[in-house]
Structure 1
Amino acid sequence: MSSNFVPFEFSRAEAVGGLVWLSVGALLSLVLEVVYLGAYLTMPNGVRIAFPLTVAIAWWFNKALTKTARLWSPNIFIAAIPLAVWVLGFFAFLVIGSTTGDQWLGSNIRTVALLFAGIIGGIWPFVGPK
């Protein structure tokens, strides 16, 4: 049995629809990850600690999106569409912020960590252990 075994048949239109919905999910998760990237935990003594939980969520969710996309298409380039949408959305946040003056993504390590976690999570189903 192949690792890409799918227990049901589906049409090309269903596969396209599935990939569209996975891409919409990628954009929605990116928006939430960006919004909560600057989250802090306030300790009982008043000290605030950066808590970028969305970095881990980006890794995990992009991994799940790509793994699901592989069920719709065995072609690596097609299965990577949700990841590509997520990465393009990430850079759109950077460009829009620089053109409008609004800073959606800060110039800090959390932004870089979010980018790398999202990309690594998204390619993990292609290169990681089966």
Structure 2
Amino acid sequence: MRQLPQQGFIHQDFSRAEAIGGLFWLSLGALISVFLEVMYLGTWIALPGGSSIAFPYTILIAFFFTMVLSRTAALWSNRAVIAAIPLYVWVAGYTVMMMWPVFGDAQLLGSNIRSVLLLGAGVIGGIWPLIKVK
């Protein structure tokens, strides 16, 4: 029986267009991610007895998903500045949603600690894989 190799193989023979395409799709994922994380940031869970409690689970999702995005982007580029493009897009999406009342009537991000924690978790999760390797 044939044994599988112990080490993984990372394909590094790709064109610049493939790398740009990969970073584009990761950036699109970052935009969709930040939109959903902001939309569900104000989630409440109903408790027995009729009371409710805030349950901002999207803060953890932001941390881990931006970590995955940055780690995957690092496969397309060895330069941390380029690998951080999905993180830049995530932060730009967050900023647009923070400034949304300027463009329309609805306020998407509240002025509360959950919004600050979401931003912090997203940024730290996105930076972590890029500085951990160094």
* Structure 1 residues 77-127: Cα deviation after superposition (integer angstroms, max 9, x where no partner): 110000000001100011122342310001100000000000000000022
- 2:6 is matched with none
Q: Does 1:17 align with 2:21?
A: yes
Partner of 2:42: 38
Please give the secondary structure, in 2, of the residue aligned with 1:6.
coil
State whether structure 2 residue 73 is matched by structure 1 residue 69: yes
Query: Any gaps of 5 or more consecutive residues in structure 2?
Result: 1-8
Bigger CA radius of gyration:
2
Change (3 A) 1:117 1:41: same
Is 1:60 the counterpart of 2:64? The answer is: yes
The answer to whether residue 94 in structure 2 is matched with residue 93 in structure 1 is no
Question: 1:118 matched to which residue of 2?
Answer: 122
Provide, for residues 46-84 of structure 1, a one-character-per-residue CA deviation record: whole Å limited to 9, x for no partner.
111000000000000000000000000001111000000
Aligned residues: 126
Paired residue type of 2:46: T
Percent identity (aligned): 54
How far apart in 2 are the matches of 1:55 and 1:63? 13
Please report the RMSD computed on the Cα atoms of aligned residues, expressed in angstroms. 1.5
Rate the CA distance shift 1:19–1:129 in 2: closer, same or farther, 3 A. closer
3-state DSSP of counterpart to 1:49 = strand
Which residue is 1:48 aligned to? 52
Is 1:83 the counterpart of 2:109 in the alignment? no
Name the TM-score, length of structure 2 as normaliser. 0.89
Deviations 1:9-30 (A, max 9, x none): 1111000000000000000011
- Deviation >3 Å, runs of 4+: none
CA–CA separation in structure 2 for the residues paired with 1:26 and 1:53 = 17
For residues 35 and 68 of structure 1, the distance between their equivalents in structure 2, rounded to whole angstroms, comes to 25
CA displacement 1:22-48 (0-9 Å, x = unmatched): 000000011110110000000111111
